[in-house]
Amino acid sequence: MVGAGILWVGWNGFNGGDPYSASPDAGVAVLHTNIATAFSMLTWTAMDIIFYKKPSIIGAINGMITGLVVITPAAGFVAGWGAITMGFFSGTIPWLSMNIAGKKWRLFTHHVDDCLGITHTHMVAGFLGGFLTGIFATDTGVYAFGTTSGGGAIMGNGRQVWVQIVGALFIIGWNVVWTSLIMMFIKYVLRVPLRMSDEACLIGDDAVHGEEAYCFSDDNVSGLVPTLTTEMRANEKMTILHGRDLEEGNNGNGSSMNSPGKENGSGDGEIKID
């Protein structure tokens, strides 16, 4: 959450700093950036509630990111209502892409290693932002930057939509080609693996520090996780024990674990570890 907040704040400088001056254009860009991002985050959260019956922090952050990405090419060109509309689309279309195509299409489930959903939050959202800019750009916004081509489709300039589509496709193709070349150079020339081993993936890359991160269950993955968590209820209190050497009735150093007032592990108060 802290990182997401820093990203949002920093993005204001990213979009607002584009004119390289403290000008009205910069103020408009910052305003529209925040409007679209807030609306996108709320829309993504609403989609989570509608389809999954509960909101999600990760979902809200994804909605924030897609809102920032979508409004970036349009921040200085659209009106306030255009920023709201773009925020709505950025909270729905990438959501559908991630939660439907990303979970059902074999391309994403078997061939593309995209655990962060970059394809949806950046490629889909980026294309969407460029496309919608060609629709919602206003004459006033465009003329403020000294151009004379006119606004987007809503201002009668439908040609701009095709210009935006061609530009977005060129950028996608450029990135696919050059990223692939760089990755192949790393893999085949430098002989550096592009992925961790399956064992390292199961443990998690944080295990290199001897720690577990994001451990939301007490399941040991094939005996690879060094620290197990066993939950036990004794005397109506929850006790958390850590350690892989725990055995039933043994706390790791050979001593029996008994409840107060009980001897030799007998009685109803005996603690057992499953």
**According to the model, what pLDDT value does residue 84 have?**
98
Check whether 266 has a pLDDT greater than 90.
Answer: no
Asked if 136 and 86 count as a contact pair (C-beta separation under 8 A), the reply is: yes
Token pair 């996780």 is at which residue?
225
Residue among 128, 116, 135 nearest 91 (CA): 128
The pLDDT tens digits of the residues spanning 214-242 come to 655 555 544 444 443 444 444 444 434 44
Q: Which residue has the higher pLDDT, 201 or 224?
A: 201
Q: How far is CA 265 from CA 50, 135, 217, 237, in A?
A: 52, 75, 29, 19
**According to the model, what pLDDT value does residue 131 have?**
97
**According to the model, what pLDDT value does residue 253 have?**
45
DSSP assigned state of 265: T
Q: Helix 159-184 vs helix 125-136: angle between axes, to the nearest 10 degrees?
A: 160
Mean pLDDT across the chain: 81
Which tokens go with 131? 């496309």
Check whether 251 has a pLDDT greater than 50.
Answer: no
CATH class, range 2-189: mainly alpha
Least confident range of 58-62, 123-127, 246-250: 246-250
**According to the model, what pLDDT value does residue 94 have?**
97
**According to the model, what pLDDT value does residue 85 have?**
97
**According to the model, what pLDDT value does residue 270 have?**
47
Which tokens go with 33? 């950036």
Check whether 206 has a pLDDT greater than 80.
Answer: no
The pLDDT tens digits of the residues spanning 180-190 come to 999 999 999 99
Q: Which residues contact 185 (CB under 8 A, 6 or more apart)?
A: none
The pLDDT tens digits of the residues spanning 145-172 come to 777 788 999 999 999 999 999 999 999 9
DSSP assigned state of 208: G
**Percent helix / strand / coil, the chain, rounded to 5:** 60, 5, 35
**According to the model, what pLDDT value does residue 239 have?**
39
